Amino acid sequence: MISPQRRREIIDALRRGTVPRRGLDAFAVGTDRFAAAFDDELATAAASGAGFKAVRGEYGSGKTFVVRWLAERARTQGFATAEVQISEGETPLDHLEAVYRRLCERLTTADTAGGALRSVVDSWFFALHEDVVAAAGTALPGDAEAVLAATDALTEQRLGVVSARAPALAAVLRGYRRALADGDTARAEGLLAWLGGQPHVAASVKRAAGIRGDLDHDAALAFLAGLLTILRGAGYAGLVFVLDEVETLQRVRSDARDRALNALRQLIDEVDQGRFPSLYLVITGTPAFFDGPQGAQRLAPLAQRLHTDFTTDARFDSPRAVQLRLAGFTVEGLGEVGRRTRDLYADGAADPNRIRSACDDDYLALLAKAVTGDLGGRVGVAPRMFLKKLVGDVLDRVDQFPDFDPRRDYRLTIVDSELTAVERNARAATSVDEIDLDLQ
Ligand SMILES: Nc1ncnc2c1ncn2[C@@H]1O[C@H](COP(=O)(O)OP(=O)(O)O)[C@@H](O)[C@H]1O
Ligand SMILES: [Mg+2]
């Protein structure tokens, strides 16, 4: 049974038209078929291996949903997770330092939703400290300076190869530890921010720790490797790192796009070469990104790495393959998600029976048809809007007004301003051929 708070979070997210961040198992449809393969691959990553997966589907097919569901599952298995939406302006793939910064901002563990970097680093130092104290027996604990020095040495040693490639990483960690020991929280904050790839850290703070400049593209990869070491040292099984909406790179200027494709290839190659132990890297994209002329096909080694057989009946798609294909919703599928959402809502309502009867399965099917019809008959595009309307327009009213009957009192209205670009396109298109699903 899901907690009332989780339930509220889910309902709130659906009402806003977004994918909930947690509690997805409570209304997930069809994700079970991926569970065994995911669990296997996560177990490999947890054993200091690594993994890579590409989730593929058209707009609305559930890519973001599946990766959040996976991340949540991974967190229950001891992983930290981070999801970054690739976008041209803020997090372009050809600037891995921007992607790394967002990763650190989004870092989530079972008990910290976002911004978990500090608690991870602190846990790591705590574990180091324990080891230092244990190794020294009774000799050291009274002598703070000696403990710090020993911790510094162990920091370097634990970071191992990573430290050799990015000496600044050990320097910033040492500086952070010192700043904490000195009670200088401003300096500690600044160094943690720098570790997380933030620009604009005061020069004086950096100077004190012996570091310079900001993190660049190459350093970001070394820091990612460092973060994995820290995560494992802090007791986590590894990191599930999601790059969502990779298809957006198709639309950027050709030089930036080619750099982005190359960055992706480099990242995947280095995962394969074992440079990122305990990393499970996941990307999502539309079929156009994987197969079209502006996407992965532009870079032969990337296309080769992503290649998956989709000529066999989809029923036999292997979840162990590098690409997972999401089929997109059917009207029945929408009905199923609608029922789960309604039941979830009813479980937390004052009068569950009224919710179930006023919004029965037949009504759900009716609403699904109406939303689909409004969006140019494109059922695949409809789920977000369907769930938004179901919660915000129908269930909320049934819950609050005892005499509200959706069949009698509600007429579906969708205004352009609440639609995403793809949804607006689907609605405006008079024939299926006019729909440009790669817009987003
Ligand atoms: N397997 C699923 N079970 C339940 N709801 C889902 C599932 N997949 C997607 N949804 C819902 O459908 C809508 C569209 O999914 P989304 O993940 O945003 O698609 P995409 O990222 O492919 O565009 C969201 O509201 C999401 O919550
Ligand atoms: Mg999405």
Print burial letters for 112-142: b (CB count within 10 Å at least 16), e (below 16): eeeebbbebbebbbebbbeebbeeeeeebee
The verdict on residue 175 lying in a domain is yes
| Residue 318 within any structural domain of the chain | yes
How many domains does the chain divide into? 3
The answer, yes or no, to whether any atom of ligand 1 lies below 6 A from the CB of 31, is: yes
Helix axes 254-272, 217-233, angle to 10 degrees: 30
Q: Are residues 122 and 214 in the same domain?
A: yes
Which H or E run includes 18? Answer: none
Q: What is the C-alpha to C-alpha distance for residues 329 and 65, in angstroms, rounded to an integer?
A: 13
Calculate how far, in angstroms, residue 440's C-alpha sits from the geometric centre of ligand 2: 9
Do 100 and 240 fall into the same domain? Answer: yes
3-class SS at 156? helix
Bridge partners for 53 per DSSP? 282
Residue 314 belongs to domain with CATH number: 3.40.50.300
Determine the Cα–Cα distance for residues 384 and 91; give it in Å rounded to an integer.
24
The token pair that represents 304 in the structure block:
């080769």
State which residues form the domain around 369: 331-428
Q: Which residue among 218, 252, 268 closes a domain?
A: 218
Claim to verify: residue 92 and residue 163 sit in the same structural domain: no
Calpha distance 291→406 (Å, rounded): 43
What are the strands, taking DSSP E only, across 57-199? 79-85
Provide the β-strand partners of residue 282.
53, 242
Q: Is the pTM of this model over 0.75?
A: yes
Q: Which two tokens stand for residue 417?
A: 């301003």
Half-sphere exposure of 307 (CA within 13 A, CB side): 7
Residue to probe by mutation, ligand 1, list 11, 12, 19, 422, most atoms within 8 Å of CB: 19
Q: What is the pLDDT of residues 139-193, one digit of tens each?
A: 655 677 888 888 888 888 888 888 888 889 999 999 999 999 999 999 999 999 9
Residue 438: inside a domain = no
Q: How far is the CA of 439 from the centre of ligand 2 (A)?
A: 13
How many Å lie between the centroid of ligand 1 and the Cα of residue 3?
Answer: 22
337 and 422 part of one domain:
yes
pLDDT tens by residue, the chain, 440 residues: 789 999 999 999 999 999 999 999 999 999 999 999 999 999 999 999 999 999 999 999 999 999 999 999 999 999 999 999 999 999 999 999 999 999 999 999 999 998 999 999 999 999 998 888 888 776 655 677 888 888 888 888 888 888 888 889 999 999 999 999 999 999 999 999 999 999 899 999 999 899 988 888 888 999 999 999 999 999 999 999 999 999 999 999 999 999 999 999 999 999 999 999 999 999 999 999 999 999 999 999 999 999 999 999 999 999 999 999 999 999 999 999 999 999 999 999 999 999 999 999 999 999 999 999 999 999 999 999 999 999 999 999 999 999 999 999 999 999 999 999 999 999 987 555 554 544 33
Distance from Cα 66 to the centre of ligand 1, integer Å: 8
Residue 29 near ligand 1, beta carbon < 6 Å? yes
For strands 50-56 and 323-325, give the pairing: parallel
Last residue of a domain, one of 218, 251, 275: 218
Distance CA 175, CA 131 (A): 19
